Amino acid sequence: MADKLKLALYWAASCGGCEIAVLDIDEKILKVAELADIYLWPVALDFKYKDVEALADGFLDVCLFNGAIRNSEQREIAELLRRKSKVMVAFGACACYGGIPSLANQFDRDQIFGRVYFDTPSTVNPGKVLPQTSYRVPEGELHLPTFYNAVYKLDDAVKVDYYLPGCPPPPSLIWTAVEAIVSGNLPPPGSVIAEEKAVCHFCTKRKDEKTVTAFRRVHEFIPDPEKCLLEQGIICSGPVTRGGCGERCLSANMPCRGCFGPTPEAIEQGANMLGAVATMVEGKDEQALAKALETVVDPLGTFYRFTLADSFLRLRNRSLTAREAERAGAAPAPKEVAS
Amino acid sequence: MKRVTIDPITRLEGHGRIEIFLDDHGEVANAYFQVVELRGFEKFCEGRPAEEMPRITPRICGVCPSAHHIASTRALDDLYKVDPPPAAKKLRELFYCAHMIHSHIAHFYALAAPDFVMGPEADPAQRNILGVVAKVGLEIGGSVIRHRSYAQKIQEILGGRATHSVMGLPGGVSRRLSSDERNQIIEWAKSEVEFAKFSLKLFEDVVLGNKAYVDLILSDGYAMKTHYMGLVDEDNKVNFYDGDVRVVDTEGKELCRFPARGTAYLEHLAEHTEPWSYLKFPFLKGKGWKGFVDGQDSGIYRVAPLARLNAADGMATPAAQEAYEKYFATLGGRPVHATLANHWARLVELLYAAERLLELAEDPDITSDDIRVVPTETPVEGAAVIEAPRGTLFHHYQTDERGLIRGVNLIVATGNNHAAICMSVKKAAQAVIHKGEVRPGLLNMVEMAFRAYDPCFGCATHSLPGEMPLVANIYDHEGRLTQTLSR
Ligand code: SF4
Ligand code: SF4
């Protein structure tokens, strides 16, 4: 066989679920080891930062990068791996769109600290002690890293060639991506490795073209498992979410929350979802619409469940945008970095 | 003063870091284990509908997402004061047994086995899962992959996806089990029971058959006298899903107990904050925070397999009960203070989880249609406790009358062990550092102490070949780098 594929896998601000998803390809993992030389996989192999630094630029064929960018260290690694890799893949919802951790972008660090270290009911902290980035203990000085005030997606920091969505990506899709990479049979750069059509298109639940007057929450009634959830009044992001997941949540009778990100048409998943919800409402006059929308209790956390770092809202992640990154060739220093 | 830094994968997102300070004589003055990460779920869950919490909180950890899913779901039962139908409880527990099996297999074979099967002194290049497979044979390697995979598939059937499942609702679950699916699960469960027995046998042959290992497990450097916490059923047998939280003292006597549903935990537990770690330090309120010391008067307790077995009077299934008895008979009776015994305890639990999985799969209720009760109460506050693979897990929510989250409190499995891990690290360091001389074995010793806890924030949990990359930087008293140990 010709040269083996040179592969790197990396995790930044991630929950570890994406790594477990890689393991869930089961025996095929041994095949990956056959087809590729893995140069970097911190969960699995001894990681020597210096070794990666010493590689020639563009030496690695592919880097699969999961997790979001939450601190400067992660950003430096993203930049390093970008330089060393011909192809950069954003792996999983966090790397693609910020994921669930980017819901934190509604709050700043002080609010988060206040809750965690002062206000939680089991915390006993009369001295109002907060973790410090540098603190003198009797024996010397201890340091903690500083965190950005916001969560960023990968392409806010570096150029991304492919997106593999999902929280986590399903093992079958991971295998599809691996095969495409190994055979060199890749779609045009910038592509999302998933379906073009929405989750709804693949969903087998029956659609009766029904409208609703109000929306209901998942715990409030037992829906008919055969019928479209949205038509039963349950908010489901299926219409605006890219397909390819195998409709996993729907198979358990639960609505889609959008972990595959927007469809090609729905560039702003949250805004498009608002539109999709509006078209469900009976009557369509303003009053009926307003009344129905009142029954959607948490539009932000529902419509942007996985994509807040990717939304036009740009709550706190204003400075580290993909556009800036492209213009400058590399991402500029984010302004919100706290001291 | 000299300073030794052990930074597990410096370049990775936070997780954990160890700093060791030497005094003027070159002896260990103190050691700090820092958790350098905070994501603030307690804050950003505010405003979310409570019923979405089982779909949000699993992202705290993708290695034990089902623990958060179930803890969250049970907290919702309490929030809405609703009692799920028997079949729903059984389905949740069945799902959860599968999760325990997946996690315990992954930990034992990928992380613990390399140290014992290959030996703690083996060449690091060999001391990994591939080395283990090479030594025990490809057939066993395949069996390990297969049995972890069955456990994942069971979670996927019920939860829609193996990682970040979705079926939990206040008052029940969203999906029933078909009889075909149940038959498939019975088949897998039978196989899991055999596999768990095999794993215990392997441990006995390789570890207990080797005096050096037994001595190591029982050695002072790896022992610590703390209190122990674990969930038990009404017969004081280990339970992962429900029951009472029981705490026993350093002698094994019951110190306190409280229901695993509701906010009673607040009467017994509190959390201390240190300026040098993002993770707080839970302690027993009745004893108070006495600093980083062990013993009967300290408030420090431990959780996870070692603690669960110590806190219970036995196991609820026959083969696991036998294994439990053998475990304590061999290690000198209850409670066992040897941190490294966690590995053995984990396998006893693996067998229990497999037996319980089979029991539940064969239960006539399990394919029932009656899997949900729709809650009618107005929500205010709810909390629940379960046993995550890595220890006791607390979810506590307050809401407005619409059920939108106002306050979240979480005490995660590894958090409970935070203080104990700090002390274990210091102890291991004291055993190997003398007169300023840092033996290369340091990294290994510390790592083994660390890994026994299977800490969730460490690369330990996520490390496939059982090799935690460590770097130790040694500084002289002026902060100049004099030596770097790494591998
Ligand atoms: S995409 Fe989902 S599974 Fe992957 S790291 Fe993020 S939260 Fe975890
Ligand atoms: S149904 Fe939606 S939320 Fe569920 S896995 Fe598919 S894309 Fe993700």
- Partner residues linked to B399 by β-bridges: B405
Q: Which domain holds residue B143?
A: 83-220+338-368
Asked whether residue B33 falls in the same domain as residue B162, the answer is no
For ligand 1, what atom is nearest to the CA of residue A17? 3
| Strand duo A162-164 + B405-411: pairing | unpaired
Nearest CA owner, ligand 2 atom 2: A256
Nearest CA owner, ligand 1 atom 5: A14
Q: Which two tokens stand for residue A105?
A: 């972008």
Q: Which two tokens stand for residue B220?
A: 């002072």
Q: How far apart are CA B199 and CA B181, in angstroms?
A: 26
How distant is the Cα of A153 from the closest Cα of chain B, in angstroms? 15
Taking alpha carbons only, the member of B61, B45, B63, B44 closest to residue B53 is: B45
- Partner residues linked to A90 by β-bridges: A65, A163
For ligand 1, what atom is nearest to the CA of residue A14? 5
Omega before A101 cis (within 30°)?
Answer: no
Asked whether residue B196 falls in the same domain as residue B342, the answer is yes
Task: Say if the Cβ atoms of A254 and B164 lie within 8 Å.
Answer: no
- When scoring B166, B188, B268 by the number of chain A Cβ atoms within 10 A, the one with the most, hence best to mutate, is B166
For ligand 1, what atom is nearest to the CA of residue A20? 3
Q: How far apart are CA B200 and CA B351, in angstroms?
A: 8
Q: Classify residue B385: in a domain, yes or no.
A: no
Per-residue tens of pLDDT for chain B, all 487 residues: 666 665 543 323 335 667 778 888 878 888 777 766 667 788 899 999 999 999 999 998 888 899 999 999 999 999 999 999 999 999 999 999 999 999 999 888 877 777 777 776 666 556 666 677 777 777 888 899 899 999 999 999 999 999 999 999 999 999 999 999 999 999 999 999 999 999 999 999 888 888 888 888 888 878 899 999 999 999 999 999 999 999 999 999 999 999 999 999 999 999 998 888 778 899 999 999 999 999 999 999 999 999 999 999 999 999 999 999 999 999 999 999 999 899 999 999 999 999 999 999 999 999 999 999 999 999 999 999 999 998 999 999 999 999 999 999 998 888 888 899 889 888 878 887 788 777 666 666 777 777 777 665 433 333 332 333 444 455 445 444 455 544 3
Determine the straight-line distance between the first and last CA of chain A, rounded to whole angstroms. 52
- What letter would DSSP give residue A255? -
Sign of CA dihedral B164, B169, B174, B175: positive
Which among A18, A24, A64 is the best mutation to test ligand 1's pocket, defined by most ligand atoms within 8 Å of the CB? A18
Task: Say if the Cβ atoms of A16 and B169 lie within 8 Å.
Answer: no
Which among B13, B44, B59 is the best mutation to test ligand 1's pocket, defined by most ligand atoms within 8 Å of the CB? B59
Q: Classify residue B151: in a domain, yes or no.
A: yes
Helix (H, G, I), strand (E, B), or coil: what is residue A65?
Answer: strand
Stated pTM of the model: 0.91
Q: How far apart are CA B401 and CA B378, in angstroms?
A: 6
- What's the burial of B10, exposed, middle or buried (CB within 10 Å: 0-12/13-18/19+)? middle
pLDDT at B11: 27
Q: Which two tokens stand for residue A81?
A: 């791996």
- Cβ neighbors of B364 (< 8 A, separation 6 or more) are none
Asked whether residue B451 falls in the same domain as residue B348, the answer is no
Taking alpha carbons only, the member of B253, B237, B252, B245 closest to residue B314 is: B237
Taking alpha carbons only, the member of A288, A255, A251 closest to residue A273 is: A255
Q: How far apart are CA A280 and CA B153, in angstroms?
A: 35
Task: Say if the Cβ atoms of A46 and B34 lie within 8 Å.
Answer: no
pLDDT at A183: 87
Burial B423-459 (b: 16+ CB within 10 A, else e): bbbbbbbebbbeeeebeeebbbbbbbbbbbbbbbbbb
Size of interface A-B (CB pairs under 8 A): 262
Taking alpha carbons only, the member of B178, B159, B88 closest to residue B370 is: B88
Asked whether residue B32 falls in the same domain as residue B120, the answer is no
Q: Classify residue B125: in a domain, yes or no.
A: yes
Rounded to the nearest 10 degrees, what angle do helices B318-331 and B342-362 cross at?
A: 170
Domain spans of chain A, in order of start: 5-100+151-193, 110-148, 199-310
Burial B172-187 (b: 16+ CB within 10 A, else e): bbbbbbeeebbebbbe
Cα B284-B341-A20 angle, rounded to 5 deg: 85
- Cβ neighbors of A41 (< 8 A, separation 6 or more) are A8, A9, A10, A47, B464
Q: Classify residue B283: in a domain, yes or no.
A: no
The CATH number of residue B214's host domain is: 1.10.645.10
Name the residue among A24, A145, A217 with its Cβ closest to that of B152.
A24
Q: Which two tokens stand for residue B241?
A: 């899903």
| Residue in chain B lying closest to A13 (CA) | B13
- Cβ neighbors of B392 (< 8 A, separation 6 or more) are B229, B230, B231, B245, B303, B385, B386, B411, B413, B416
Q: Classify residue B167: in a domain, yes or no.
A: yes
Q: Which two tokens stand for residue B332?
A: 């000198």
How many angstroms is it from B93 CA to the middle of ligand 2?
24
Residues enclosing ligand 1, CB less than 6 A? A 14-15, 17-18, 66-67, 92-94, 99-100, 167-168; B 59, 62
Q: Which CATH superfamily is domain A5-100+151-193 in?
A: NADH:ubiquinone oxidoreductase-like, 20kDa subunit (3.40.50.700)
Chain B contacts of A220, Cβ < 8 Å? 374
Single-letter code of the amino acid located at A54: A
Which among A9, A64, A94 is the best mutation to test ligand 1's pocket, defined by most ligand atoms within 8 Å of the CB? A94
How many angstroms is it from A122 CA to the middle of ligand 2?
35
Q: Classify residue B75: in a domain, yes or no.
A: no
Burial B298-317 (b: 16+ CB within 10 A, else e): bbbbbbbbbbbbbbbbbbbb
Other Cβ atoms closer than 10 A to A128: 9
How distant is the Cα of B238 from the closest Cα of chain A, in angstroms? 25
pLDDT at A52: 84
- Partner residues linked to A241 by β-bridges: A262
Work out the percent of chain A whose per-residue pLDDT is above 90. Answer: 48
Helix (H) / strand (E) containing B212: helix B211-218
Q: Classify residue B377: in a domain, yes or no.
A: no
Q: Are A150 and A317 in contact (CB under 8 A)?
A: yes
Omega before A168 cis (within 30°)?
Answer: yes
Per-residue tens of pLDDT for chain A, all 339 residues: 457 889 888 888 888 899 889 889 888 877 887 788 888 776 655 555 677 888 999 999 999 999 998 877 788 889 999 999 999 999 999 999 999 989 988 888 788 888 888 888 888 888 888 877 788 877 777 777 666 778 899 999 999 999 999 999 999 999 999 889 888 888 999 999 999 999 999 999 999 988 999 999 999 999 999 999 999 999 999 999 999 999 999 999 999 999 999 999 887 899 999 999 999 998 768 888 899 999 999 999 999 999 999 887 665 555 554 434 333 333 333 333 332
Asked whether residue B213 falls in the same domain as residue B343, the answer is yes
- When scoring A52, A107, A142, A154 by the number of chain B Cβ atoms within 10 A, the one with the most, hence best to mutate, is A142
Tally of domains in chain B? 2
Task: Say if the Cβ atoms of A120 and B274 lie within 8 Å.
Answer: no
Asked whether residue B25 falls in the same domain as residue B167, the answer is no
Q: Classify residue B278: in a domain, yes or no.
A: no
Q: How far apart are CA B425 and CA B405, in angstroms?
A: 38
> How far are the Cα atoms of A115, A261, A270 from residue A267, in angstroms, in the given order?
34, 9, 9
